[in-house]
Chain A
Amino acid sequence: MGGPAGASVSKRSERAALVVLVTLATAVVLVPALASRDPLRIDDVVARRLIAPFARDLHGEFHLLGTDRFGRDLLVRMMLAGRLSLLVGFLGSVVAGLLGTVLGAFAGWRGGFVDRAVTSAADVLLALPRLVLLLVGVALWQPGFSTILVVLALTGWMGIARLVRADVIAVRHRPFVPAATALGASSTRVLFRHVIPNAIGPALVATTLGVGNAILLESGLSFLGLGIQPPAPSWGNMIAGGRDLLVVAPWVSLAPGIALVVTVLATTILGDAWRDRLAGER
């Protein structure tokens, strides 16, 4: 939407966002793997529970971000939750992006019945707010990782399909398309080799911007108890777990919330930066 005059992203914040995401991805893989204790195990609750950040429990173990009400280390749990959140956000929007690209491209390329079918399917799905669709979707199956992934993908493709469809229709009449056809390329080959590569830019940007949205939606569903189920940690259900500890132990809800904001912010900045670059190229 934002043209060149929009909030353009500086090189420095783009680099910072990239560094944050790479660091987070590394930490998410390494920290739980290196943890001294099983992050889901609960033992000696009295000695370990609700330790404040930067403090040691009665066993002398140091907890950088403190512990929750069952004495589990919050840093390790946050990183474990980060695995799920990043994976769900990334996979959910990439699958939605692929689905949207393929459907939108076929709709714009073939026209006629295919076009009408895809456009009306998108219209129907867009007539419900995405959160309502997600809620109805998770009501279908047992809540959990794969359910969220499927539902995110099935409710996230419509905007991208519209973008790609419009771009394919615009590209279809450029001279290189009849040229490729005249050289004997099949219709499918022209679509995938010549048309889609020229129409994919906005879809890539929208997919990147969708990652943050998907992460937020997953955390929201988990917060409501309809997403990732405890004891498996997710940033959303960790915030929910600290909901009645706001006075006693605010860090339990604070830390996963900050992780969420930082992650979503970083993906949004990257998406915006790529959009700026795309707008500059055109």
Chain B
Amino acid sequence: MRYHRVRSPALLRAFGRAMLLFWCVLSLTFALLRLAPGDPTTFLIPAGAGASDAVRMRAELGLDQSTGVQYARWLGALLHGDLGGSFVNGRPVRSAIGDALPVSVALGGASLLLSFLIGIAAGLIQAARRGSRLDATLTVASVLLAASPAYWLGLGAIACFTYLASSWSLPLMMRLPAIGMTTPGADLHGVAHLSDLVRHSILPVTLLAAIGAGGVARYVRTSALDAGGTDWMRTARAKGAGEGRVYRHHLLANLRAPILTLFALSLPGTVAGSVFVETIFAWPGMGRLMVTSIVARDYPVVMGCAAMFAALVIVANLAAEALLPWADPRVRA
């Protein structure tokens, strides 16, 4: 009962810290982008436009104001949930992100879930069969995956499952589409639409999941082996509990907290992976939006994306902190 009274202010304080952190990150991004030498209008203005057009454009985008005024305006708009409009096409940043975010969340969420399921299972099996050939093979595979660039693996997957599969004229079901989320131009509905989407997801999701699973498996293996030598594991075995019960009840309960922490820490990594995977497979998600708007110097969109990524990291850390007492009752004290 007592910890409830203690914990809530602690959580509140953590929330306050998180908001402060969020504001700092956004201000930093703002400052960095305004520090950039060169004027975005030089990239945006069509060739042949005169100096007066440039002046008008700067005024339209609010770039003629001092940095302080720009910052105040931007912050004020942000507090109203307004992220501004794209420099390039005038589209509200909120709707651009609104289109891209679900794509990334679906891609990242599905692969993160898969990577933890596969990674935990693989890590536990490796720890249980330590030193076996299976353990060695899985270790080599996870180390290789960690050392390989995601975009390179993606190109390899496309070469094998799209191009080679079609040149060997494999049945259509075994050839996987390389680009986009759906077949362009195909007006599909219901189940047909869903299966089209699933076929397009197989390569990117499997790739991201495999890369993530490698890291998770290595972490789980190490944690499980560390726990393997502890007194409570020996006690559990001495009581006569079978290996299955020892693993399910004692080991997993003790791995819950480290795995939760790893999950929160993995979210930014998923973002990084999705930048490359979205670029390779031409998925219109946040990573691709960020890259294209950076190339185009579309600062409001870059700011909006950075804000979303920062919010993701901060919320994940906050959630991990809030859930830690559930995962590890010892920290409740």
Contact = CB atoms under 8 A, between A and B. Distances in A.
B146 interface: yes
Interface in B101-159: 139, 143-144, 146-149, 151-152, 155-156, 158-159
Contacts of A125: 28
Contacts of B218: 2, 7
B41 interface: no
B151 A127 contact: no
Interface of A: 1-3, 5-7, 120, 123-132, 135-141, 212, 216, 219-220, 223-226, 236, 239, 243, 246-247, 250, 253, 257, 260-261, 264-265, 268
Contacts of B146: 268
A136 B306 CA distance: 9
Contacts of A5: 222, 225-226, 228-229
Contacts of B147: 212, 216, 260-261, 264-265, 268
B7 to A, nearest CB: 22
Contacts of A264: 147-148
A224 B279 contact: yes
Interface size class of B (residues with CB under 8 A): 35 or more
Contacts of B24: 120, 124, 127
B328 to A, nearest CB: 17
Residue of A6, A137, A268 most packed against chain B (CB within 10 A): A6
Interface in B238-277: 268-269, 271-272, 275-276
Nearest to B22: A127
B294 A220 contact: no
B226 A129 contact: no
Contacts of B36: 139-141
A136 B272 contact: no
A2 B309 CA distance: 29
Contact of A128 (B222, B269, B309): B309
A247 B226 CA distance: 47
Given A128-B306, A247-B159, 6 more contacts: A6-B225, A130-B272, A140-B36, A250-B159, A261-B148, A261-B149
Given A140-B35, A225-B295, A128 B155 contact: no
B149 A219 contact: yes
A257 B148 contact: yes
A235 to B, nearest CB: 9
A220 B222 contact: no
A226 B35 CA distance: 18
B163 interface: yes
B93 interface: no
Nearest to B219: A1
Contacts of A224: 275-276, 279, 291
5 contacts: A124-B21, A127-B313, A131-B275, A132-B305, A220-B151
A139 B222 contact: no
A200 B229 CA distance: 29
A199 B305 CA distance: 38
A226 B295 contact: yes
Given A128-B313, A140-B36, A246-B159, A7 B291 contact: no
A204 B225 CA distance: 25
B297 A139 contact: yes
Given A128-B310, A226-B295, A247-B167, A123 B21 contact: yes
A135 B313 contact: no
Contacts of B143: 7, 265, 268
B222 A7 contact: yes
Contacts of A135: 275, 290-291, 294
B109 to A, nearest CB: 16
A135 B222 CA distance: 33
B29 to A, nearest CB: 6
